[in-house]
Amino acid sequence: MRPWIGAAAVALAASGCGSDGGSTGPSRVLAIVGGDNQSAKVNQQLPLPLSVSVMEGGAPVTGAIVNWSVFAGSGTVTPTSTTGSDGIASVSYTVGDVPRTERVQAAVAGANGLQVFTATALPIGSFTVLGGGNNVSDRFSSDLAFHGSYGYTGTWGLRGLNHGDAIKLWHLDAGGAPNLVRSVPVEDIETVSDVAVSPDGSLLVITAEGGEGSRPGLLVYSLADPADPVLVGRHEVAVPGLHTGTVASVNGRTYAFTARSPGAVDPALQIYDLSTPQSPAVVAVVPVPPVYGIHDTFVRDGLVFAFVWNTGVQIYDVGNGMAGGSITNPVLVGAVTTAGTGVPSGGPSAHNGWWFHNPNTGEKRYLFVGQEGPVEFGVSSSGNIHVVDVSDLAHPQEVAFFHLEGAGSHNFWMDEANEILYAAFYNGGVVALDVSGTLQGDLAARQVARLEPAGADTFVWGVQLHQGTLYAIDMLSGLWQLGPSGF
Amino acid sequence: MSYRPRAVGCLQLLPLLAASAAPLSHLIAQHARGVLGGQTVVAGTVTDPIPGMGSRAEVRLLHPVLFSGWSAAGRWLTLRGTFNLEGWVVPGGELTLGAWGEGFIDRRHPHTYVHELLAVAEVGTHTHGRRALSLAVGKGFAPFGTDDPMMRPIFKYPVNHHLSQILERAIVVLAARTGPVAIEAGLFNGDEPDRPGQWPAIRRFADSWSIRSTLSPWPGFEAQVSRASVASPEHRPGAGLRQTKWSASTRWVRDGRTAHGYALAEWARTSEAEDQFVFTSVLAEGAIRLRQHQAYARFERTERPEEPRTGDLFRSMRPHLENSILGTTRWTIYSAGYRITFASPVRGLALGPFVEGSHGTASERGTGFFDIEGLYGRSTFWSLSAGIRLSWGTLGHRMGRYGAAVVTDDARSH
């Protein structure tokens, strides 16, 4: 028989074989006809079914059994469905409980290859942009702080030919939207590394960094007129300066708890007494190991939580009384080395944190620790949120973590009354986590909202709740006002 | 207590010491070999643009190096010292657009005063081809990549210096050779120097390693592949990322009575943080010398990390505060030059006037914060240098290979 006659005979036979009939030849063609690239909130069903067609010899196959399975994600799908007379089989799909990209595959006997559907499980809530954004383009932005209807944001590094030597002054309108008033220049520094307002609102305190020839350190501004911060005090520190500063009251006096010289050979927790703002006085210096030293602090109830990179978290009594410590004589209460997992090549990289006081339960159980892994600004970041149980402050223990694929955590803020942790995640934008109840293991399912406010150009440094709305400072695009909803 | 009797005693020993030393010095004179040499370059460079835009012209005394060495009879023991005075003459580095490392950007950093200081013990035989085993201990180059650019024909350093060489470390290098094949393995400290007067952090010795295999099938030709794992090179206390480095190259040198040829082709890759940061380089360079006239050229395409710069736009923040960069840039540079070498009226002093030009482009790889045009004003650049190289005595070795790893017909490329 000539080859073409044989091929024609096979094609003719195939065209007549319109039902499944147990045919397992490789001549079937499986194709997606609907339902790909949909999204639904966690644990919800996709709006449209997932549908495939099975064809053989150009004709639909009736009664073919299509096998469905989930190979990425935790959603649920009916394992099999059968094609109708149109050769189409469909199933409904319910996405899993973790916000993420999920994949479902369809297979049929007698066909070469599989078909893969992509679905997105969305957080249960969302953020909406209420105001701001795309409002700082001359410099990279750093930290943020607010007082009344004014905001203050720092500037960082070198953008074009502009160093981070300015404070941006913002006025919040009646709806809370930020409007840039002006830049306040800061002489002889290269980065405003942190911005804080004293608890009584009288002082704006910034920490500054810089290289050789600069004068980094602590700068104190009077906020007698919050629209016009006036520099009243300055304490210079050797290059590279101070990385962060937390302003807090301990036993009725106001102090700045600063992270001195993270990368240098002599990093330390350096505490300033701000009782006389004109001459901030160093009242304690607590050396820490020089492996990227200390990056940030959190102060509450007379305790300082120092985030000491690969050394982990150190807890000091500076007036709490539990260990006899004082401002001038901080006493180490406890320490924990958080897990190195979460960043490429490992390493705790403990960067920042928040001690959660739950007003609903009275618990003071959890410390959230931000891990800052390697960052290529504008491209990638890494690092988890590690949750440490500090019920026993002398023996803290890590109990849970949160990982956001493709991004790393930076600064936090908490809505304690609503038990929501807001975290900046650089290129991952802003993340809201439900931190109610007991926290254990992987907290992926606790993500309730996420937003990249500037789209693909997002690189969020920090967040802060102020007067009921959430503000996010993006290094590239400036200050945003966000509205959480649905949680 | 009086010290006089003891001093007198020591003085009384001197004739004895002198007597015992006399045969030794005689032996050295007969069989050992010492070398001494030096070089420097007086050059002017114009580069346009520079960080901050505009152009800059500089005249500097550059590459001042003293070479010293001593080999015992049969080369079973070699002592080597190479001293680099850049820390004195160019503490702010050498204007070299694209160069980076050790806290400098677009200026090549000065090397440490003690560039090499090591002892090499070697045993071997030349029957049935050369077989040798050596151990090098001291401060010097880890067995990785290609030769130090200072010993190559092109005056300006390539961008890939920190991708293709690992230098100024406390090293222990074991090398073995059988015929055309040499294998080297080295242990060293990962930290690179922060300043010219700094010694390697001995406490970090052996936190890093490298291995290099070299095939030299024909006289003058060699091919090498090497790999290294370098712990926290840019943060001396040790919190930085570990680098995984690869290098492959071929090198050819032909020395004739009146003609000399040289060619090098290399590829290098350095990655950090499980490939979150990756920097690659390809480079090809060559030179030909007829009598005293030498022409040379180089092509290079190398990626470099962009680090936050300080108020001095040629410097980056050191030490690092954390493991972050502002992006990655790719530098494509074409260079060519001409040098004429002749003896000076001063005995033993050779002079080598030269002129060299480069043209290149820089581009951003990816979406990092770093903005080339925002810093330089444009993405193309050129550089022109002219000067004179002065050399005296016996010039240095290839810098990077010791003991059994040295091919007997090794030659520098100048």
pLDDT, position B32: 66
Task: DSSP for A273-302, please give it.
Answer: E-SSTTS-EEEEEEE--SSS---EEEEETT
Provide φ and ψ at A11, rounded to 5°.
-65, -40
Provide φ and ψ at B222, rounded to 5°.
-150, 155
- Tell me the mean pLDDT in the region A1-9: 39
**Which residues does chain A have within 8 Å of residue B369's beta carbon, measured at their own beta carbons?**
140, 157, 159, 377-378, 459, 475-476
Contact A263 B276 (CB under 8 A): no
CB-nearest to B367 from A343, A373, A379 is: A379
Min Cα distance B177 → chain A (Å) is 35
**Which residues does chain A have within 8 Å of residue B325's beta carbon, measured at their own beta carbons?**
375-377
Q: By CB neighbour count within 10 A (0-12 exposed, 13-18 middle, 19+ buried), where does A151 fall?
A: buried
Contact B371 A160 (CB under 8 A): yes
Tell me whether strands A469-474 and A430-434 are parallel, antiparallel or unpaired.
unpaired
pLDDT, position B394: 74
- What is the interface size between A and B, counted as CB pairs within 8 Å? 136
**Which residues does chain A have within 8 Å of residue B371's beta carbon, measured at their own beta carbons?**
159-160
Q: Which helix (H) or strand (E) holds A447?
A: strand A447-451
- For residue A301 the two structure tokens come to 């109830």
Separation between Cα atoms, residue B160 and residue B145, nearest integer Å: 11
Q: Which residues pair with A286 in a beta bridge?
A: A269
End-to-end CA distance of chain A: 72
Residues 6+ apart with CB under 8 A from A351: A295, A296, A307, A309, A369, A370, A371, A372, A383, A409, A410, B322
User: How many CB atoms sit inside 10 A of residue B357's CB?
Assistant: 16
Q: Residues B384, B45: contact at Cβ < 8 Å?
A: yes
Contact A265 B237 (CB under 8 A): yes
Q: Which helix (H) or strand (E) holds A440?
A: none
- For residue B103 the two structure tokens come to 């806290």
Measuring CA to CA, which residue among B11, B9, B53, B57 is closest to residue B374?
Answer: B53
Provide φ and ψ at A7, rounded to 5°.
-65, -40
Separation between Cα atoms, residue A252 and residue A250, nearest integer Å: 5
pLDDT, position A113: 87
Q: Residues B137, B171: contact at Cβ < 8 Å?
A: yes
**Which residues does chain B have within 8 Å of residue A379's beta carbon, measured at their own beta carbons?**
327, 366-368
Contact B237 A291 (CB under 8 A): yes
pLDDT digits (tens, 9 = 90+) for A432-455: 999 999 999 999 999 999 999 999
Residues 6+ apart with CB under 8 A from A465: A413, A414, A415, A422, A471
Q: Which residues pair with B332 in a beta bridge?
A: B301, B361
A291 or A197, greater pLDDT? A197
Separation between Cα atoms, residue B224 and residue B173, nearest integer Å: 16
Contact B328 A376 (CB under 8 A): yes
Measuring CA to CA, which residue among B165, B286, B265 is closest to residue B222?
Answer: B265
pLDDT, position A293: 93
By the CB < 8 Å criterion, does A1 face chain B? no
Tell me the ipTM for this assembly: 0.86
Q: Which residue has the tokens 């010293």?
A: B68
User: How many CB atoms sit inside 10 A of residue A328's CB?
Assistant: 11
By the CB < 8 Å criterion, does A38 face chain B? no
Measuring CA to CA, which residue among A291, A439, A277, A474 is closest to residue A358?
Answer: A439
- For residue A325 the two structure tokens come to 């410590």
**Which residues does chain A have within 8 Å of residue B368's beta carbon, measured at their own beta carbons?**
376-379
- For residue B143 the two structure tokens come to 């067995």
Ranges of chain B with pLDDT below 70: 1-32, 126-129, 396, 408-414
Min Cα distance A352 → chain B (Å) is 13
By the CB < 8 Å criterion, does A405 face chain B? no
- For residue A395 the two structure tokens come to 């023996």
**Which residues does chain B have within 8 Å of residue A456's beta carbon, measured at their own beta carbons?**
367
**Which residues does chain A have within 8 Å of residue B241's beta carbon, measured at their own beta carbons?**
345, 374
Tell me whether strands B327-340 and B324-325 are parallel, antiparallel or unpaired.
unpaired
- What residue in B sits closest to A244 (Cα-Cα)? B321
Contact A344 B238 (CB under 8 A): no
Share of chain A above pLDDT 90, in %: 90
Mean pLDDT of chain B: 90
Measuring CA to CA, which residue among B334, B333, B329, B326 is closest to residue B363?
Answer: B329
CB-nearest to A140 from B276, B311, B369 is: B369
**N residues, chain A:** 487
- Scanning A338-397 for CB atoms below 8 A from B yields 343-345, 347, 349, 351, 372-380, 382
Q: Which helix (H) or strand (E) holds B41?
A: strand B33-48
Contact B312 A376 (CB under 8 A): no
Burial letters A345-367, b for 16+ CB under 10 A, else e? bebbbbbbbbbbebeeeeeebbb
Q: Residues A371, A383: contact at Cβ < 8 Å?
A: yes
Residues 6+ apart with CB under 8 A from A436: A419
Contact B321 A262 (CB under 8 A): yes
Looking at A91-105, A148-162, A302-316, B15-29, which range is the least confident one?
Answer: B15-29
- For residue A366 the two structure tokens come to 């959890």
Mean pLDDT of chain A: 93
DSSP A87: S
pLDDT, position A363: 97
By the CB < 8 Å criterion, does A265 face chain B? yes
Q: By CB neighbour count within 10 A (0-12 exposed, 13-18 middle, 19+ buried), where does B89 fall?
A: middle
Strand ranges for B256-341 from DSSP E: 259-272, 277-290, 293-306, 324-325, 327-340
- For residue B76 the two structure tokens come to 């079973």
DSSP B230: E
By the CB < 8 Å criterion, does A260 face chain B? no
**Which residues does chain A have within 8 Å of residue B242's beta carbon, measured at their own beta carbons?**
345
Q: Which amino acid is at B346?
A: V
With residues binned 3-state (H G I as helix, E B as strand, rest as coil), the percentages for chain B, rounded to 5, are 15, 55, 35
Separation between Cα atoms, residue A99 and residue A445, nearest integer Å: 7
- Scanning A186-215 for CB atoms below 8 A from B yields 190, 209-214
Q: Residues A338, A350: contact at Cβ < 8 Å?
A: yes
pLDDT digits (tens, 9 = 90+) for A402-433: 999 999 999 999 999 999 999 999 999 999 99
- For residue B388 the two structure tokens come to 């004179």
Q: How far, rounded to the nearest angstrom, does the alpha carbon of residue B262 sit from its chain's CA centroid?
A: 18
**Which residues does chain A have within 8 Å of residue B375's beta carbon, measured at their own beta carbons?**
158, 160-161
By the CB < 8 Å criterion, does A159 face chain B? yes
End-to-end CA distance of chain B: 61
- For residue B329 the two structure tokens come to 């840039």
3-state secondary structure A133-149: CCCCCCCEEEEEEEECC
Q: Residues B299, B334: contact at Cβ < 8 Å?
A: yes
Min Cα distance A218 → chain B (Å) is 18
DSSP B30: H
Residues of B with a Cβ under 8 Å from any A Cβ are 52-53, 235-239, 241-242, 272-277, 308-313, 315, 317-328, 366-371, 374-375
Task: DSSP for A238-250, please give it.
Answer: STTBEEEEEEEEE
Min Cα distance B146 → chain A (Å) is 27
pLDDT, position A25: 52
Give the pTM. 0.88
Handedness of CA B350, B353, B359, B362 (dihedral sign): positive
Return the half-sphere exposure (C-beta side, CA atoms, 13 A cut-off) of residue B11. 6
Contact A214 B52 (CB under 8 A): no
- For residue A405 the two structure tokens come to 């694929």
pLDDT, position B360: 97
Separation between Cα atoms, residue B143 and residue B141, nearest integer Å: 6
- For residue A299 the two structure tokens come to 């102060």
Tell me whether strands A478-485 and A126-132 are parallel, antiparallel or unpaired.
antiparallel
**Which residues does chain B have within 8 Å of residue A189's beta carbon, measured at their own beta carbons?**
none
CB-nearest to A263 from B235, B369, B375 is: B235
Tell me whether strands B259-272 and B277-290 are parallel, antiparallel or unpaired.
antiparallel
Q: Which amino acid is at A450?
A: R
Measuring CA to CA, which residue among B190, B133, B130, B192 is closest to residue B161?
Answer: B192
**Which residues does chain A have within 8 Å of residue B273's beta carbon, measured at their own beta carbons?**
343-345, 373-374, 382
pLDDT, position A361: 97
pLDDT, position A18: 41
Contact B321 A190 (CB under 8 A): no
By the CB < 8 Å criterion, does A335 face chain B? no
Separation between Cα atoms, residue A196 and residue A406, nearest integer Å: 30
Q: Which helix (H) or strand (E) holds B7?
A: helix B4-31
Contact A382 B273 (CB under 8 A): yes
pLDDT, position A4: 40
pLDDT, position A198: 97
Return the half-sphere exposure (C-beta side, CA atoms, 13 A cut-off) of residue B285. 28
**Which residues does chain B have within 8 Å of residue A340's beta carbon, measured at their own beta carbons?**
none
Contact B375 A158 (CB under 8 A): yes
- What residue in B sits closest to A291 (Cα-Cα)? B239
pLDDT, position A30: 97
Query: Reduced to 3 states, what is the DSSP secondary structure of residue B406?
Result: coil
